[in-house]
A and B are shown apart, each in its own frame.
Chain A
């Protein structure tokens, strides 16, 4: 039991760390984007190269996550997930191919933390 408790604490701490870092450019490696009410939340993210983002569909309607020339999820029904690891710095605009008014952006910075001028 103590082992499990310790593990749980670690997990909780890990999740908290992810959320703390998700708000600001930092070294988070796992970030979650929720799809709800036909919107991506958060809609804009700034992450370090190497970060994995997982989208989870919380709507009663299926969605997809598509970034032309970068990634394309299969259709995600309710509670469906899709993950992508961003290894290359740059700005990734993505959308739902079923409901293209749903859009989001992921800005991937180099791991040094210096994304260079104009990359905000």
Chain B
């Protein structure tokens, strides 16, 4: 961990594995790329450090042909969570809990997700702020202890977690938006923090520009990432695009999780980002959860981008 480490000779690897059925497990480990084998082997392998889960885009209330049973697929995702041999420390939900911000939709999500038996930390998606008061329902339910539109940070197992909100005050023609107030809070939150502390940043819309033609990016995301430049290990987790996508830039790993509700097309492969209808027997291979495992004492992560499919 000297100043001269350029990351290349201390290369750590980020592995992505596709679950045969419903999800993704990815884990940050040391050494050269090595296949973890099928998911059951990976789960059974001894894990040092700790794990947490990401779930996203459950869209309770969605009832269109792409998936007429979003409660069912969320239940299946939660059932998979319970099969993990390494009990996650907690779970994050990266937004679009509901489809239309109805209390009954939030109720359904809470009821199903509670079966995981895990503490859950939320950030809102644009579908969660559609009530008359544009987000009051969400904040009343999930916003306790948060700032502004629902942002916050906390520490767990030595890792600093930051939940950001980039789905309010969106501007015509623009992308996701954090806003000045939140960015100033973020800068303050990071000030004085050791650069060797691993950081996990999560928000609904990708913080990096995935595909601006479909609004898949965050207008002022670069400013947020600028505050994180000095940190050796930064992991950015998002949802919104209903597919796994990954990018590595320096010490920052970007990752988007699958939805538990319906898949969306890869950028530019369809006339619009709307839900795609796939054959019933294929749907579950396109939905899922993500399991993130941190190996302790791996402060600086030089990460190899491992594409999952396509």
**A82 → B minimal CB distance (Å):** 14
Given that A61-B274, A98-B126, A100-B170 are contacting pairs, would A77 and B175 also be in contact in the complex, using a CB cutoff of 8 Å? no
Contact of B172 among A61, A78, A95 (CB under 8 A): A95
Q: A37-B271, A37-B274, A94-B172 are in contact. Are A75 and B66 (CB under 8 A)?
A: no
> Which residues of chain B have C-beta atoms less than 8 A from A62's C-beta?
99-100, 127, 130
Shortest C-beta distance, A104 to chain B (Å), equals 9
A102 to B170, CA, bound (A): 11
Q: For the complex, is A111 an interface residue (Cβ under 8 Å from B)?
A: no
Q: Is the CB of A60 within 8 A of B275?
A: yes
A39 near B: Cβ within 8 Å?
yes
Main secondary structure of the interface of B (DSSP, over half): loop
Of B193-201, B209-217, B250-258, the segment with at least 4 beta carbons within 8 Å of chain A is: B209-217
The residue in chain A whose Cβ has the minimal distance to the Cβ of B177 is A100
CA distance A61 to B276 in the complex (A): 11
CA distance A101 to B216 in the complex (A): 9
B contact residues around A98 at 8 Å (CB): 126-127, 130, 170
A98 to B124, CA, bound (A): 12
The verdict on B49 contacting chain A, using a C-beta distance below 8 Å, is no
A99 is an interface residue with CB less than 8 A from chain B:
yes
Q: Give the CA-CA distance A94 to B172 in the complex, in Å.
A: 7
Task: State whether the Cβ of A54 lies closer than 8 Å to any Cβ in chain B.
Answer: no
Determine how close the nearest CB of chain B comes to the CB of A73; give it in whole angstroms: 11
Bound form: Cα–Cα A66–B171 in Å: 10
Q: In the docked arrangement, what's the CA distance between A16 and B130, Å?
A: 35
Show 28 residue pairs from A and B whose CB-CB distance is below 8 angstroms, ordered by the A residue.
A37-B274, A38-B273, A59-B274, A60-B65, A60-B66, A60-B274, A60-B275, A62-B99, A62-B127, A62-B130, A75-B100, A75-B130, A77-B100, A95-B172, A95-B173, A97-B126, A97-B170, A98-B127, A98-B170, A99-B126, A100-B171, A100-B173, A100-B174, A100-B215, A101-B175, A101-B212, A101-B213, A101-B214
Apart from A101-B174, A101-B215: 10 A-B pairs, beta carbons within 8 A: A38-B272, A39-B272, A62-B100, A77-B100, A95-B172, A98-B130, A100-B171, A100-B173, A100-B174, A103-B173
Sort A-B residue pairs by CB-CB distance and give the 6 closest, nearest first.
A95-B172, A37-B272, A101-B215, A38-B272, A60-B64, A100-B170
